[in-house]
Amino acid sequence: MILAFVVFLIAYAFLATEKIHRTLVALIGAVIMVFLGIFADPSKIYSEYIDFNTIFLLIGMMTFVNVIKKSGLFEFLGLEALKFSNGNMLKLYLYFSIIVALTSAVLDNVTTILVMLPITLAVADTTGVDPVPFVLGEIFASNIGGAATLIGDPPNIMIGSAAKLHFSDFVVNLGPVLFFIFVAVNIFLVLVFRRTLTKKVESNLLAQSGSPITNKKHFYISIILLLVTIIMFIFQERLGFESSIIALFIASVSLLLMRPKEVEKTLEEVEWSTILFFVGLFIMVGALEETGFLEYLAGHILVLSRGSYQLAKALVVNISGLASAFIDNIPYTATMIPVIESMQKLNPDVFNNLEPMWWSLSLGACLGGNGTAIGASANVVGLAVLKRYYGKEISFFEFFKYGIIVLIISLIFSTLYLLLFL
């Protein structure tokens, strides 16, 4: 356990300094853990620790976005949003953030980011405005919005299943605090980036921009496929398909209809370095799970609570938030669920109603992803898209500078809400 934790810390140090490419760090860290014999049965890495649903979801959606962006759809939508805001960057920022938060409540966060960021970057390209505030705002909004519903974030699906909680339970119990967190986080970001967000684009620039549509037939096909994608994701549970299957299906159809002779060229544009980074990261976090580190961490939360319900709620939300900023929230949540369930068995008088504890775990696990550049899948993908399509990079420490404050704001609001109202 100590060995796995030390390797993980060293890898994280290299990720933070960015002296070596993050994909190399993740893959080398993963391979070292395997060579050191941390996994009792290395073959289980592929069946238990690498989340292939996420991997294939990323590949499918990246391919789909690469195909439809060539039709000019994203530039068109960005220009329309710019006209709707009348060139006011603050209004545009708020429109985009609200759309991302609401969409992330019903769709996968990665899908939302992959669809919205190209629109955002198209606007930045047209106006010459720095896209960083918009990208950060949308990443944070996706993680906040995803926490609001049963299907918005994987930890909520796991918690809902374990605790027999319904869609409406999450909206009613977590919706109010997440609304205030969303408002507080955006007030912070608007104040920090006020120079960029108070700019106003000249009306003549909007008038002279012209039509960005490069191929009308492909443009209309792109709109139809985008709508079909959203509908399929919304009704995913009823359809009985994993999100990755939907993404791969849509990617294949889009290639067949619009780029049948450019399959290899389109696939070359997929962020393969990001895909491999996720593989390495899944293995490293899997090592922490394999050695019992996550279980060790969860057990200490119960000991520290000393039989106090209020203290237990505060500890679960804050430790979960901080832990999820550095490790994948899915294995962490899987480890914490039996710990929460055991509270009632160990002290039935104090922990007779576990529902507030489930909300504590949900808020911590979902909102913790905003803390670091690799805290959530949406963060990694969003920053990769920004670098690839706009040539601008947000470093680990630059993201952390804003992310840690966003996380602190989130945890303060969450803790007060849990102590006062749940």
User: Six-digit token pair at 58?
Assistant: 């990323």
Q: Which residues pair with 200 in a beta bridge?
A: 88
Domain ranges of the chain: 2-38+73-212+271-421
At residue 238, the pLDDT reads 81
Name the residue with tokens 């294995």: 331
pTM of model > 0.75: yes
**Is the C-alpha dihedral spanning 270, 274, 277, 283 positive or negative?**
negative
User: Six-digit token pair at 268?
Assistant: 């070359």
Give the N- to C-terminal CA distance of the chain in Å, as an integer. 36
At residue 317, the pLDDT reads 93
Cα 34 from Cα 240, distance rounded (Å): 35
At residue 31, the pLDDT reads 93
Cα 285 from Cα 260, distance rounded (Å): 38
Residue pLDDT tens, the chain, 422 long: 888 888 888 988 887 777 888 889 889 999 999 999 888 888 888 888 887 877 887 788 888 888 887 887 777 777 777 778 887 889 889 988 998 898 888 777 777 888 888 888 888 887 888 899 999 999 999 999 989 887 677 788 778 877 888 778 888 999 999 999 999 999 999 999 998 888 777 655 555 555 667 788 888 998 898 888 878 877 777 888 877 888 899 999 999 999 888 889 888 888 888 788 888 888 888 888 788 876 776 667 777 877 788 888 999 999 999 988 887 777 677 767 777 877 777 677 777 888 899 999 999 999 998 999 888 878 888 898 898 878 888 888 899 999 999 999 999 999 999 999 87
Burial class of residue 92, CB neighbours in 10 A (0-12, 13-18, 19+): buried
- Element containing residue 250 per DSSP (H, E): helix 243-258
CA 25, 336, 155: angle at the middle one, nearest 5?
Answer: 70
One DSSP character per residue, 24-55 reads HHHHHHHHHHHHTT-SSSTTHIIIIIS-HHHH
Cα 75 from Cα 356, distance rounded (Å): 44
